[in-house]
Amino acid sequence: MARIVQKFGGTSVADLDRIRHVATRVKAEVDQGNQVAVVVSAMAGVTNQLVGYCSDIAPFHDAREYDAVVATGEQVTSGLLALALQELGVEARSWLGWQIPINTDGAHGKARITEINAPALIERLERGQVAVVPGFQGLGPDNRITTLGRGGSDTSAVALAAALDAERCDIYTDVDGVYTTDPRIVPNARKLSRITYEEMLEMASLGAKVLQTRSVEMAMKYRVRLQVLSSFIEAPGTLVCDEDEIVEKELVSGIAYSRDEAKITLVKVADRPGVAARIFGPLAEGNINVDMIVQNVSDDGKATDLTFTVGKNDLDRAVKLLEARRDDLGFQDLVKDSGVVKVSVIGVGMRSHAGVAQTMFTALADKGINIQVISTSEIKVSVLIAEDYTELALRALHAAYGLDA
């Protein structure tokens, strides 16, 4: 007998029929003798409608009222799933964020969970009652409803799993697991049976939209074993777990890409101490995230070219900010390019193996793909290339690392 947290996202609880179907998936766990807590999202379209109402009434709305309005979506699903479970003869009840309570900080609209101390809920679980918990919501220090920000239901599920000391947190979604790369682009992509937290974190932050980065971070911190699986197909998914749990480690686990990058090059920046701080300071203050940074060696010791990437959505703002400081920063020209993609190979195995980057560079060169920027970390190598080459690069790398099915 194990204690399991199951989380069903928006597409899994889109309408009443899907909610009924989810109830059968929950019942299957209960029938195996497991204690089950279920975290649910809002039904299809509901959150968007509620957010739309708030924006219509007040474009710059009080986040506390926004939270009170938007949190109702998950509340409705919780009650309905509890009813659907009861119809199947499964004892169940809904537990709203303020009832458990799921305590958060006071950052309405993007709150962080601070504590879940749930003796009453645990007592019911131990008696065999299923707990249905609305995701995305908590209780702030002001005794008002908070929401965790978009995608917060994954975080709710992981936090609950940590608080309940659950054996596993199953995230049901519309894909059946984590793949070596995007199967829509590389038909040979394989579903991974296991992946480490670190790798999943890189995958998530690099554009694989299976899990929210924040929920993976939390899972890693509290060592919650996460399983990603489909609510429509009955098959095991991908387990995100500790490195120790993975016997056969691959050198490279996956290849991720992100089209959400744009490149800025400052031509002929003065090559003197402090210039980087003067460039990136204003961007940081403007809340613009800078990702990859490359500074060329200066030809003459006087001026150099500086290239970096920002989110595509921030490009115009970043350009404006920099142009306004052109005299102060002393660059000759600013070149921007949003037609780029970041491709990354990821694997904890590369910590102990040389040559991973070299394989990447060779594979790309063989296809005539020019690398514009490179950045590396302990478990990944990322390159920036022209967006047109995305598919070609992914297929070449997938084959080069022996990941093809």
Complex with its own copies: residue 2 or 58, whichever CB lies closer: 58
Q: Is 118 near its own copies (CB under 8 A)?
A: no
Residue 184 counted as an annotated binding residue: yes
Q: Which part of the chain contacts its own copies (CB under 8 A), choosing from 13-21, 212-220, 224-232, 247-255? A: 13-21
Residue 74 counted as an annotated binding residue: yes
Q: Could you tell me the smallest distance in angstroms from the CB atom of residue 119 to its own copies?
A: 13
Query: CB under 8 Å to 20, separation ≥6 — which residues?
Result: 84, 87
Q: At what angle do helices 72-87 and 16-31 cross, to 10 degrees?
A: 60
Q: Is 53 near its own copies (CB under 8 A)?
A: yes
Residue 60 counted as an annotated binding residue: no
Residue 114 counted as an annotated binding residue: no
Q: Is 16 near its own copies (CB under 8 A)?
A: yes
Q: Is 65 near its own copies (CB under 8 A)?
A: yes
| Binding characters for its own copies, 125-144, by CB under 8 A (x = yes) | ------------------xx
For 39-50, b where at least 16 C-beta lie within 10 A, e where not — what string?
Answer: bbbbbeebbeeb
Q: Is 84 near its own copies (CB under 8 A)?
A: yes
Q: Could you tell me the smallest distance in angstroms from the CB atom of residue 347 to its own copies?
A: 45
Residue of 255, 316, 262, 268 whose CA lies nearest to 290: 262
Residue 347 counted as an annotated binding residue: no
Complex with its own copies: residue 56 or 285, whichever CB lies closer: 56
Residue 302 counted as an annotated binding residue: no
Residue choice 14, 21, 51, 72 for contact with its own copies (CB under 8 A): 72
CA distance 201 to 211: 9
Residue choice 4, 37, 66, 271 for contact with its own copies (CB under 8 A): 66
Q: Is 318 near its own copies (CB under 8 A)?
A: no
SS3 sequence of 55-71: HHHCCCCCHHHHHHHHC
Residue choice 48, 62, 365, 402 for contact with its own copies (CB under 8 A): 62
Q: Is 93 near its own copies (CB under 8 A)?
A: yes
Q: Is 232 near its own copies (CB under 8 A)?
A: no
Complex with its own copies: residue 49 or 332, whichever CB lies closer: 49
CA distance 283 to 278: 9
Residue choice 3, 20, 259, 268 for contact with its own copies (CB under 8 A): 20
Residue 7 counted as an annotated binding residue: yes
Q: Could you tell me the smallest distance in angstroms from the CB atom of residue 158 to its own copies?
A: 24
Q: Could you tell me the smallest distance in angstroms from the CB atom of residue 22 to its own copies?
A: 11
CA distance 118 to 81: 20
Half-sphere exposure of 361 (CA within 13 A, CB side): 11
Residue 9 counted as an annotated binding residue: yes
Residue 248 counted as an annotated binding residue: no
Size of the site for its own copies (CB under 8 A): 35
Complex with its own copies: residue 98 or 232, whichever CB lies closer: 98
Q: Could you tell me the smallest distance in angstroms from the CB atom of residue 45 to its own copies?
A: 13
Q: Is 103 near its own copies (CB under 8 A)?
A: no
Residue choice 14, 44, 51, 76 for contact with its own copies (CB under 8 A): 76
Residues in contact with its own copies by the rule CB under 8 A: 16, 19-20, 50, 53-54, 56-58, 61-62, 64-66, 68-69, 72, 75-76, 78-80, 82-84, 86-87, 93-94, 96, 98-99, 143-145
Binding-site residues for ATP, please? Answer: 7-10, 173-174, 179, 184, 209-210
